[in-house]
Amino acid sequence: MAELRPSGAPGPTAPPAPVPTAPPAFASLFPPGLHAIYGECRRLYPDQPNPLQVTAIVKYWLGGPDPLDYVSMYRNVGSPSANIPEHWHYISFGLSDLYGDNRVHEFTGTDGPSGFGFELTFRLKRETGESAPPTWPAELMQGLARYVFQSENTFCSGDHVSWHSPLDNSESRIQHMLLTEDPQMQPVQTPFGVVTFLQIVGVCTEELHSAQQWNGQGILELLRTVPVAGGPWLITDMRRGETIFEIDPHLQQERVDKGIETDGSNLSGVSAKCAWDDLSRPPEDDEDSRSICIGTQPRRLSGKDTEQIRETLRRGLEINSKPVLPPINPQRQNGLAHDRAPSRKDSLESDSSTAIIPHELIRTRQLESVHLKFNQESGALIPLCLRGRLLHGRHFTYKSITGDMAITFVSTGVEGAFATEEHPYAAHGPWLQILLTEEFVEKMLEDLEDLTSPEEFKLPKEYSWPEKKLKVSILPDMVFDSPLH
């Protein structure tokens, strides 16, 4: 639950400095991390020292449901000459470490990221006659923050969020999100680490699908070239009724299709409704089998495996890098590789050493036969996984959102995988890796062609390759929502 009030941000306009110095009277009132972000806001909006602010009534660290302590809302006049319309600018406070006393985030020093290392922003086109900013974007940002806190998966530029609902709960076609660097907010060095600012960009379903099949950065660049679809500052217009491909039909063939053919996809993984069964052993052999069946309790992923899989979901590829699954790094650096380049890297390396079960005690098992299970939305991404990732020598991971397990598809060009051509199905606890040769990928793409039009078939749907001892089922959501899964 939140309330709307003026922020009461202290002090006169601050010059653009890494860490603004608070006036002595306010030094004890405003936590250092909070004050540092306020300083960057005052640099951009010196004439708005007290913006309207949505604040969590019961703070997250006191048991409240909202991870963001505040969302400030500024009026940005834009730049008509540069096709940048007037808009509302929303800025979050809470994904980074505001306090430095471990009440929310573990303080690990000033050199790395502060908290999760970023705050969210959002730019919403101002409607004619609108005198106050709508507050629904604050709840949208809280929803994304809840995902980050609960999953500990962080966002980076080029990521996409499948929302499947108009962002403002209207009839709008803007139903999903991409993330990019905020065009005005500069990284802030706080006493508790560095904070960057990731901007939410509302997109249509067709634009989301293109981002999945190609890459988010490519679609963001296209959006920047179409003023009504975002323009240079990627401002979201909830009244936009056309996709960029309807506005300019040449973009699909000349930019997106060619990009997919040349680059493949940089979507390296998704959180999904999925499961897998080991058909090599009878279901009752629970001691060493990863069969998900009634009455069994799935083995938990080790902390190291979880961190490694998170890296797959958090990182994509660096176009010219060699795809590698390196050994897991035993050194922990606050869960983030702070010095990594903004481009995404095709790697499953990890920075965590925390383990739920001792990692070295979980042996890798070779399986003879496996059964993969996906809901309809996840299954529709299998052709993307095969064509956009594996045929380009990369990997793709499904991380279950309903259970503690994961499925990673790897190509023969990926080094460091524990699945091999001799043993293409291998499991490390509840993490399954499947190595597919290029020949088999081409065969699967032919057989799975109807997955590109999932609305045309009824569930459940089953595909089988007996000679490869592989079965894939597309099942209704309710199967995965069951507590037995």
What per-residue confidence (pLDDT) applies to 453? 79
pLDDT at 452: 81
Q: Which residues contact 43 (CB under 8 A, 6 or more apart)?
A: 14, 15, 16, 186
Taking only the tens of pLDDT, the chain with its 485 residues reads 566 766 654 333 333 334 444 444 444 578 999 999 999 999 999 999 999 999 999 999 999 999 999 999 999 999 999 989 999 999 999 999 999 999 999 998 999 999 999 999 999 999 999 999 999 999 999 999 999 999 888 999 999 999 999 999 999 999 999 999 999 999 999 999 999 999 999 999 999 999 999 999 999 999 999 999 999 999 999 999 999 999 999 999 899 999 988 889 988 888 899 999 999 876 554 444 333 332 233 455 666 666 666 665 554 433 334 455 433 332 322 222 222 223 333 333 333 323 334 444 468 899 999 999 999 999 999 999 999 999 999 999 999 987 789 999 999 988 889 999 999 999 998 999 999 999 999 999 999 999 987 677 789 999 999 999 999 999 998 888 765 55
Taking the CA of residue 4 as centre, how many other CA atoms within 13 Å lie in the half-sphere pointing to its CB?
A: 11
Structural domains of the chain ordered from first start: 32-263 (no CATH), 268-280+363-484 (3.30.1360.230)
Residue 402: its pLDDT value, please?
78
Q: Which residues contact 59 (CB under 8 A, 6 or more apart)?
A: 69
* Count of CB atoms situated within 10 Å of the CB of 320: 5
Name the CA dihedral angle for 414, 157, 403, 417, rounded to a multiple of 10 degrees.
10
pLDDT of res. 311: 64
Task: Please say whether the beta carbons of 188 and 203 come within 8 A.
Answer: no
State residue 50's pLDDT score.
95
Segment (H or E) for 391: none
Contact 272, 401 (CB under 8 A): yes
Contact 379, 372 (CB under 8 A): no
pLDDT at 29: 72
pLDDT on residue 170: 97
195: helix, coil or strand?
A: strand
Find all residues with CB under 8 Å of 211, minimum gap 6, and list them: 160, 178, 203, 218, 219, 267
Alpha carbon 50 to chain centroid distance?
A: 32
- Burial classification of residue 327, based on how many CB atoms lie within 10 Å of its CB (0-12 exposed, 13-18 middle, 19 or more buried): exposed
CA dist 305 → 7, 249, 354 (Å): 42, 43, 10
Residue type, 373: K
- Here the tokens at position 115 are 């908290």
Q: What per-residue confidence (pLDDT) applies to 424?
A: 97
Query: Which of the 8 DSSP states describes residue 259?
Result: H
Closest CA to 118 of 161, 160, 68: 68
Q: Which residue has the tokens 């009724």?
A: 241
Q: Residue 193: its pLDDT value, please? A: 97
Here the tokens at position 351 are 């920075």
Pull the structure tokens for residue 362. Answer: 């979980």
pLDDT at 229: 97
Q: Are 96 and 190 in contact (CB under 8 A)?
A: yes
